[in-house]
A and B are shown apart, each in its own frame.
Chain A
Amino acid sequence: SQQGEEDPQALSIQEGENATMNCSYKTSINNLQWYRQNSGRGLVHLILIRSNEREKHSGRLRVTLDTSKKSSSLLITASRAADTASYFCATGVGNFNKFYFGSGTKLNVKP
């Protein structure tokens, strides 16, 4: 099975609210990355957090990583309709950093 699993599978919120997505994984990782995908198009890289980091910020995004619980969370603050997309976490594993993607969270931000 895949390394990462996102939770929830789907999330619907109003514009202006915060959105939180979680990612759990199974083995030790080198890094964890979050991506956004709009309607079956290519993925857009959002943020990378290394295994020795606990929190990173980028604009309205905040990512946390808890390696003891093998979990990460992505917080999008003050969401906008344009944030509507699927969000994936990907874990870099092993010597050659093979990447495993989770199943994704579908976020719908209603205007």
Chain B
Amino acid sequence: KAGVTQTPRYLIKTRGQQVTLSCSPISGHRSVSWYQQTPGQGLQFLFEYFSETQRNKGNFPGRFSGRQFSNSRSEMNVSTLELGDSALYLCASSSTPLEGNYEQYFGPGTRLTVT
């Protein structure tokens, strides 16, 4: 079974621009979560989607948004990029909603650099 895939793997953007990151979960997984990892703040939960609905949200500004498609693939969008948005963005999939005691499987991440 193929793992979680994320595209692109690396991205360089300029302040003020917007960016869209993509995540394809493991086949059959319907829950997709997004995390931001920075050296200063560590790993922080952004949001979770299940069956195209956002079920869970972290403490991030409205510039961070996401969506999930009927095939469970997910995208996250960051608008009006700031230097502090430079981070590794990780996507994770799970077979059930996160409310169950099930493992999350992570993708390799997208390294976003904002200049």
Contacts and interface: CB of A to CB of B under 8 A. Distances in A.
Interface in B56-115: 56, 58, 88, 90, 92, 97-109, 111
Interface residues of A, number: 26
A48 B99 contact: no
B24 interface: no
A45 B42 contact: no
A60 interface: no
A50 B99 CA distance: 12
Contacts of A92: 98, 101
Given A40-B88, A97-B100, A104 B107 contact: no
Nearest to A3: B45
A42 B48 CA distance: 17
A2 B41 CA distance: 9
Chain A binding surface SS class? strand
Given A42-B90, A42-B109, A99 B45 contact: yes
Contact of A31 (B45, B88, B101, B107): B101
B33 A99 contact: yes
A96 B109 contact: no
A69 interface: no
B55 interface: yes
Interface centre among A42, A95, A101 (most CB of B within 10 A): A42
A81 interface: no
Contact of B97 (A40, A88, A97): A97
